[in-house]
Structure 1
Amino acid sequence: MCSTSGGKAPVRLTPELLHLAQHEQAPGLTAELHARWSIVESSFSAGVGRALIQEGLTVDWPTLTLTDKRRRRPVTGVAQALIGFQHGRCLICHETLELNDAVAVDHVFPYALMRRYASVRGWAGPDLDALWNLAPAHQACNTVKSDRLPYPGELTLLAQRNEAVMGSPHPLRKTLELTLNSKRRVAGGGSWVAFLHEVQKECA
């Protein structure tokens, strides 16, 4: 146990905490914590706290960073912000994303669908270039997947990941809430499973 001065509560160092610090994924945890804090810190320093609460974040693809919608200021990396909610694993092969692995940000529903359907009958689904549809993955896995539609297991993991974000106090929660509520008004869905089912129907 590590005591503190001034009568404050002590900091308890448990064996579990030591095990976590020595775990092979500890470096990735550090990056994830930094990403989460960057969202909060950037919103304070840039004066966009209210915008984050009301409008959520958007993705800047040239830099693969999350930005606030109002001022377009970079907040943190997409992969770093999401990887913890996937338990540090690739959404495609389900293996661990190691610190030195080449990581890509996969469009679970391929972005090419929007262009493909727009030229035929118009794309009536949600924006596929948004946070709800993005998942950190091994670069090699992402290359092999290419523009194929997601498998059922991948959709299950995506729904679980998005539900985990929305069940946390993470600032990204609002971004996903806005997407889900927008689609809910159209399709009557109340969960990410229902939301993804509706997107699948658009791809039929």
Structure 2
Amino acid sequence: MFTFPKIHHFPPFYTQQQNATVLENQLNEWCSLLLSYCQHYLVYVLLPQGAIMAQGSEETAPPLFENKALDRSAPPHFRRAIVSHLIHKLGRGVYVDPKHPDAGVLVFWRTPDEWARMLCDAADRMGHVGSVLTVYELILLDDAADDSFRNLDYHMLARAVDVLVKQGRAQVFRSDDGRIEGIKIV
């Protein structure tokens, strides 16, 4: 069960502050909460207004941007400001499709570099360096290559693999439509 921080129970937290310094701190607090929440519930993609779009956990996630006990919720424009801050100021997310921001935001509670490092470590630990692993083997099987990757969002996996390819540490095998089908860690 996720434990919300004390600030989540502070009514002004849900109102966008006017003072620039206070607003910056407020946005940072919201982003910290958002990242912790997403990591706990394995949320990889949010809609820009904050609704969960892709979740790897089977545990039901409570609403992030509201506190029913306080009868308070962050309004949609403020939720968008929080997500924008996460992307543009903190670099902890990207639009799944930059041409269509409403398609969702990929949340980096672990950065692509961190996922790439974990992927290499798992391949090394399991003796798969030099072997081709399918996306299915990595993230979809009940006995996935590593529990860390079970139900990992495809877009996040693709970003991690791109990091490895740029470092010369992986080869990618793609389908006719360009999607990654296999990965060889070298």
TM-score bracket, normalised by the shorter chain, equals under 0.3
Q: Which structure's residues are more often strand, by fraction?
A: 2
Give me the TM-score of the superposition, normalised by structure 2.
0.28
Q: Which structure's residues are more often helix, by fraction?
A: 1
Give me the TM-score of the superposition, normalised by structure 1.
0.26
